[in-house]
C-alpha cells in the first residue's frame, strides 16, 4: 500500500477558509507600497528623536514626493586613471538588432510576487530620500551602504527603462505590421494598374490593326445596295459599344493609377511612422548605454550581489564562487582607478582611451571589443561598460525560476535571460537562442571573453560566458538561473560588436537535449526531484504563486495550472478550486500530526516537490462533470491523476493531480 499522500480537507474547514478569504480586505499594490513606506518612515523618525518638527515635515514631504521607479542617482565622479576620452567623430554602434528579428518573449512580473518586490525595492530606496532632508545623513562617499543604495537605484532605473523599451518596441511592432499591410495594399494596387493597362493596351492594339470599315462601319453603306444597310447599322452599334468599353477601360485604368498613388502615400506615411517609432526605441537603448557607461565598478560590483535566490548544495557554492570572482575582478579595477570604457571607445584600436592597449590572443592578434590595462606589473582585461552591466545584472538574477517563453523579471527561459541581461546594458536581442546566434557577431571559442553569448551544440541553449569555462544561464535542466560548465563544441557571439552583413548560418539541431538544456523525456515514471532540493525544503522564492492564498508550484507546473484554470473557467464559469499545493516539511509534519492515517510521512509527500495539487469544487468527487472534464483535459496542460489515486486505484483520491508521471 502506498503511503497516504493527501488527506481530505473537511467541508467545514473549506467553508471556514472561504469565508475568511471573502472577509479579508484586498490591498492594492499602491496601498501596500504606501503602508510599507509609512512604516519605514516611522522607524526612521523614531531612531532620530532629536529632529525638529520642521525636519520631520520635510522628511514626510520627501517620501510623499518620491517616485521610486524613476529614481535617478547622481553621476559618479570620474577616476583619473584610464581617462575617458571619446573621439568626437566616433559613433556608438546601434544596440538594436535587425528589424523583424526581435520576437519578444513573454515577460513575467504581473503577479503579486513582482508587485511586492517593487514595494520592497522602494522601501530599500527610502533611506536615499530621507538622506536628502535629514541632518547628519550620509553621502554617497560615506560607505558601503551608500554604494548599495546607488546599486539599488541603478537597478530600479534600468528596469524602468526596460519597461519603456518594451512598450515602445510593441508600438514599433504595430507600426511595422501596418507598414507591411500598406505595402501589400500597394502591391495589389500595382497589380490592378498592370491589369487595366494590359486591357487598355490590348483593345488599343486591336483597334489599330482593324480595317477602317471595322472602326467605322458606316463607310460600308452603299446607295446601290440598300439591303446591306441593316447589317451596317448593326455593326455600327457594335462598334459604338466597343468604343464605350474602351473608354471604360481607360477610366478604370485612371482610377487604379489614382488608387496606386494613394497606396504609395500610405506606404510613405507608414515608413515614416516606423522610422519614428524605431528612433524612439533606439533613443531608449542609447539612454541605457549612457547610464551604464556612468556606473562605477564599485556600484556594478554591488549590483551583481543584489537579491539572488539561494540554490541547493553544490549549485549554491558554485554560484557564490562565480559571483565572488566577478566582484573581485571589479574591485581590482576600482582599486586601480580603472573605469570600463563604452563599447564605442574600443572599436578603434589605434585610438583607445588613455591607459589602455589592444588585448591580444595567444597568436598576438588583437581581440575585438576588449582592451588591456596594467595593474601592478600584470595585464588585466578591461571589458566595455555595457558588458560589465549585463553580467552584473545577470548575476543579480541567480536562482530565479525557469519558465519556457518568458524574459523576466520574475522567470526566464534561456534566450529570455540573455536578452533581458543585455537589454539592461542597452542592447536589444531576439528572444530565442537560434535568432541570437544568427544575428550576432561570431567569435572563436578560443577567444571567448566574459559576457559573450555561448550556445550549446545545436543552438538549443544559450548563456553568458563567465570565464574559466563557466556559463551563466536559465536552465531547463535545473529549472533556475545558475552557473554551469560550457558544453563541448559550443559556439559564441559577442554582443557589442557590429552584426555581420549576412546572418550566420543556422546551427544544426542537436539531439543531446531539448530546448534550453531540458533533458529528453524518458518512458516511464520520472523522478520528482529537481534543482538539488530535498522534499519539502524548496525555498518559496524558487516557486511561482498560483494567485490563490499562498499556493505555489514549480514555475512550469504553475504556468500549466494557470492555463488549465482558464480553460476550466471557460467551461464552468469559475476558476479551479484548490486546497493544497506545495507543502514544506513543516506543513507535512503538521498534517501528519493531525491525520497520521491519511497524511504521508513527512519528507515523502509528492506535495513536497511542488508538483502536486489537491482540487475541490466538484473535482474532488469522481464522476462529476468537473472531474470528468479533468480526466479529459488535464493532460493537455501537463497534469495527470496517478493510477493509485484514480477510482478503483490503490488509494482513491479523485482530488489529487500531479504534474507529470511522478508516482
- pLDDT exceeds cutoff 50 at 137: no
Provide mean pLDDT across the span 128-152.
Answer: 59
What confidence score (pLDDT) does residue 20 get? 39
Which pLDDT band holds residue 199 (cuts at 50, 70, 90)? Answer: confident
Most confident of 75-84, 116-125, 130-139, 610-619: 610-619
- pLDDT exceeds cutoff 70 at 162: yes
Q: d(Cα 92, Cα 348) in Å, to the nearest integer?
A: 12
**List of residues 6+ apart from 311 with CB closer than 8 A:** 319, 398, 399, 478, 480, 482, 531, 532
What confidence score (pLDDT) does residue 146 get? 85
Provide mean pLDDT across the span 445-459.
Answer: 94
Q: d(Cα 629, Cα 600) in Å, to the nearest integer?
A: 28
What confidence score (pLDDT) does residue 370 get? 96
Which pLDDT band holds residue 124 (cuts at 50, 70, 90)? Answer: very low
Are 336 and 81 in contact by the 8 Å Cβ rule? The answer is yes
Backbone phi, psi, residue 475, to 5°: -110, 130
Most confident of 78-82, 271-275, 504-508: 271-275
Provide mean pLDDT across the span 392-401.
Answer: 96
- pLDDT exceeds cutoff 90 at 408: no
Q: d(Cα 398, Cα 392) in Å, to the nearest integer?
A: 10
Query: Which residues on neighbouring strands pair with residue 472, listed in sequence order?
Result: 464, 483
Cα 633 → chain centroid: 29
What confidence score (pLDDT) does residue 219 get? 64
What confidence score (pLDDT) does residue 428 get? 96
**Which residue would you say has higher pLDDT here, 557 or 123?**
557
- pLDDT exceeds cutoff 60 at 256: yes
Domain ranges of the chain: 33-67+115-137, 175-293, 524-659
Which pLDDT band holds residue 116 (cuts at 50, 70, 90)? Answer: very low
**Which residue would you say has higher pLDDT here, 663 or 385?**
385
Q: d(Cα 427, Cα 484) in Å, to the nearest integer?
A: 24
Name which of 149-163, 226-240, 367-381 the model is least confident about. 226-240
**List of residues 6+ apart from 459 with CB closer than 8 A:** 433, 434, 437, 491, 506, 507, 509, 510
- pLDDT exceeds cutoff 50 at 79: no
Q: Which three cell numbers stand for residue 580?
A: 493544497
Other beta carbons within 10 Å of 435: 21
Which pLDDT band holds residue 527 (cuts at 50, 70, 90)? Answer: confident
Backbone phi, psi, residue 154, to 5°: -60, -45
**Which residue would you say has higher pLDDT here, 215 or 66?**
215
Q: How many Cα neighbours within 13 Å face the side chain of 259? A: 17
What confidence score (pLDDT) does residue 186 get? 93
What confidence score (pLDDT) does residue 101 get? 47
Q: d(Cα 309, Cα 398) in Å, to the nearest integer?
A: 6
Name which of 248-252, 346-350, 518-522 the model is least confident about. 518-522
Tell which residue, 604, 625, 623, 626, has the closest CA to residue 615. 626
Q: d(Cα 232, Cα 511) in Å, to the nearest integer?
A: 82
What mean pLDDT value characterizes the chain? 81
- Which residue bears the cell 534566450? 415
What confidence score (pLDDT) does residue 119 get? 43
- pLDDT exceeds cutoff 60 at 434: yes
What confidence score (pLDDT) does residue 613 get? 96
What confidence score (pLDDT) does residue 123 get? 45
Provide mean pLDDT across the span 520-543.
Answer: 85
What confidence score (pLDDT) does residue 203 get? 76
> What's the topology of domain 524-659?
Muramoyl-pentapeptide Carboxypeptidase; domain 2 (3.30.1380)
- pLDDT exceeds cutoff 60 at 1: no
Which pLDDT band holds residue 133 (cuts at 50, 70, 90)? Answer: very low
Provide mean pLDDT across the span 504-531.
Answer: 79
Alpha helices (H) in 538-637, listed in sequence order = 555-572, 585-594, 625-633
What confidence score (pLDDT) does residue 30 get? 52
Specify the pTM: 0.73
Q: Which three cell numbers stand for residue 382?
A: 578591461
Tell which residue, 202, 228, 201, 224, has the closest CA to residue 213. 228
What confidence score (pLDDT) does residue 111 get? 44
What confidence score (pLDDT) does residue 394 get? 97
- 41: three-class secondary structure by DSSP: helix
* 24 preceded by a cis bond (ω within 30 of 0): no
Q: Which three cell numbers stand for residue 251?
A: 477610366
What confidence score (pLDDT) does residue 89 get? 38
What confidence score (pLDDT) does residue 140 get? 43
- pLDDT exceeds cutoff 70 at 639: yes
Which pLDDT band holds residue 13 (cuts at 50, 70, 90)? Answer: very low
- 118: three-class secondary structure by DSSP: helix
411-432, pLDDT tens digit by residue? 999 999 999 999 999 999 999 9
What confidence score (pLDDT) does residue 145 get? 55
Most confident of 49-63, 219-233, 565-579: 565-579
Other beta carbons within 10 Å of 205: 10
Tell which residue, 619, 625, 630, 604, has the closest CA to residue 653. 619
532-559, pLDDT tens digit by residue? 899 999 999 899 999 999 999 999 899 9
- pLDDT exceeds cutoff 80 at 104: no
Amino acid at each position: 500500500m502506498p503511503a497516504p499522500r493527501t488527506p481530505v480537507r473537511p467541508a467545514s474547514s473549506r467553508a471556514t477558509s472561504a469565508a475568511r478569504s471573502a472577509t479579508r480586505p484586498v490591498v492594492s499594490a499602491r496601498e501596500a507600497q504606501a503602508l510599507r513606506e509609512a512604516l519605514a518612515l516611522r522607524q526612521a523618525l523614531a531612531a532620530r528623536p532629536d529632529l525638529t518638527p520642521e525636519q520631520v515635515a520635510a522628511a514626510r514631504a520627501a517620501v510623499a514626493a518620491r517616485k521610486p521607479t524613476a529614481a535617478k542617482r547622481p553621476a559618479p565622479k570620474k577616476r583619473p586613471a584610464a581617462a575617458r576620452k571619446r573621439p568626437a567623430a566616433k559613433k556608438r554602434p546601434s544596440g538594436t538588432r535587425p528589424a523583424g528579428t526581435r520576437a519578444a518573449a513573454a515577460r513575467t512580473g504581473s503577479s503579486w510576487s513582482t508587485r511586492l518586490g517593487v514595494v520592497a525595492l522602494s522601501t530599500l530606496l527610502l533611506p536615499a530620500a530621507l538622506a536628502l532632508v535629514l541632518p547628519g545623513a550620509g553621502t554617497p562617499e560615506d560607505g558601503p551602504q551608500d554604494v548599495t543604495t546607488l546599486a539599488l537605484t541603478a537597478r530600479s532605473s534600468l528596469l524602468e527603462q526596460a519597461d519603456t523599451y518594451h512598450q515602445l518596441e510593441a508600438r514599433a511592432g504595430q507600426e511595422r505590421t501596418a507598414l507591411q499591410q500598406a505595402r501589400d495594399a500597394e502591391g495589389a494596387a500595382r497589380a490592378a494598374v498592370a491589369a487595366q493597362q494590359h486591357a487598355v493596351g490590348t483593345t488599343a492594339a486591336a483597334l489599330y490593326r482593324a480595317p477602317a470599315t471595322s472602326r467605322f462601319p458606316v463607310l460600308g453603306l452603299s446607295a446601290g445596295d440598300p439591303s446591306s444597310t441593316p447589317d451596317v447599322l448593326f455593326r455600327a452599334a457594335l462598334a459604338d459599344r466597343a468604343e464605350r468599353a474602351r473608354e471604360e477601360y481607360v477610366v478604370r485604368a485612371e482610377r487604379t493609377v489614382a488608387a496606386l498613388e494613394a497606396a504609395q502615400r500610405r506606404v510613405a506615411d507608414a515608413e515614416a511612422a516606423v522610422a519614428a517609432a524605431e528612433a524612439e526605441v533606439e533613443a531608449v537603448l542609447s539612454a541605457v548605454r549612457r547610464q551604464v557607461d556612468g556606473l562605477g565598478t564599485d556600484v556594478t560590483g554591488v549590483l551583481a550581489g543584489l537579491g539572488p535566490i539561494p540554490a541547493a548544495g553544490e549549485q549554491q557554492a558554485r554560484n557564490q564562487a562565480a559571483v565572488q570572482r566577478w566582484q573581485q575582478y571589479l574591485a581590482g579595477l576600482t582599486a586601480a582607478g580603472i573605469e570600463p570604457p563604452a563599447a564605442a571607445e574600443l572599436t578603434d584600436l589605434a585610438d583607445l582611451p588613455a591607459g589602455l592597449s589592444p588585448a591580444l590572443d595567444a597568436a598576438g592578434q588583437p581581440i575585438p571589443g576588449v582592451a588591456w590595462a596594467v595593474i601592478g606589473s600584470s595585464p588585466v582585461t578591461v571589458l566595455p561598460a555595457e558588458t560589465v552591466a549585463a553580467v552584473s545584472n545577470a548575476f543579480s538574477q541567480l536562482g530565479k525560476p525557469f519558465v519556457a517563453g518568458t524574459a523576466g523579471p520574475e522567470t526566464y527561459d534561456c534566450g529570455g535571460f540573455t536578452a533581458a541581461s543585455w537589454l539592461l546594458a542597452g542592447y536589444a536581442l531576439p528572444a530565442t537562442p537560434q535568432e541570437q546566434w544568427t544575428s550576432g557577431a561570431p567569435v572563436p571559442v578560443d577567444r571567448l571573453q566574459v559576457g559573450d553569448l555561448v550556445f550549446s551544440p545545436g543552438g538549443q541553449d544559450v548563456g553568458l560566458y563567465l570565464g574559466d569555462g563557466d556559463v551563466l544561464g536559465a536552465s531547463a535542466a535545473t529549472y533556475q538561473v545558475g552557473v554551469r560548465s560550457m558544453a563541448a563544441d559550443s559556439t559564441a557571439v559577442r554582443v557589442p560588436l557590429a552584426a555581420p552583413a549576412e546572418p550566420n548560418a543556422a546551427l544544426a539541431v542537436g539531439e543531446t537535449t531539448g530546448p534550453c538544456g531540458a533533458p529528453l523525456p524518458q518512458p516511464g515514471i520520472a523522478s520528482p526531484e529537481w534543482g538539488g532540493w530535498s522534499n519539502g525544503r524548496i525555498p518559496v522564492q524558487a516557486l511561482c504563486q498560483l494567485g490563490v492564498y499562498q499556493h505555489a508550484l514549480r514555475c512550469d507546473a504553475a504556468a500549466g495550472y494557470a492555463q488549465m484554470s482558464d480553460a476550466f473557467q471557460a467551461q464552468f464559469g469559475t476558476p479551479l478550486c484548490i486546497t493544497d499545493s506545495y507543502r514544506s516539511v513543516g506543513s507535512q509534519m503538521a498534517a501528519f500530526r493531525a491525520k497520521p492515517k491519511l497524511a504521508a510521512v513527512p519528507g515523502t509527500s509528492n506535495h513536497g516537490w511542488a508538483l502536486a495539487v489537491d482540487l475541490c469544487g466538484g473535482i474532488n468527487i469522481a464522476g462529476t462533470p468537473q472531474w470528468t472534464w479533468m480526466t479529459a483535459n488535464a493532460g493537455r496542460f501537463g497534469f495527470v491523476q496517478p493510477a493509485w489515486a484514480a477510482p478503483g486505484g490503490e488509494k482513491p483520491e479523485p482530488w489529487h493531480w500531479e504534474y507529470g508521471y511522478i508516482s
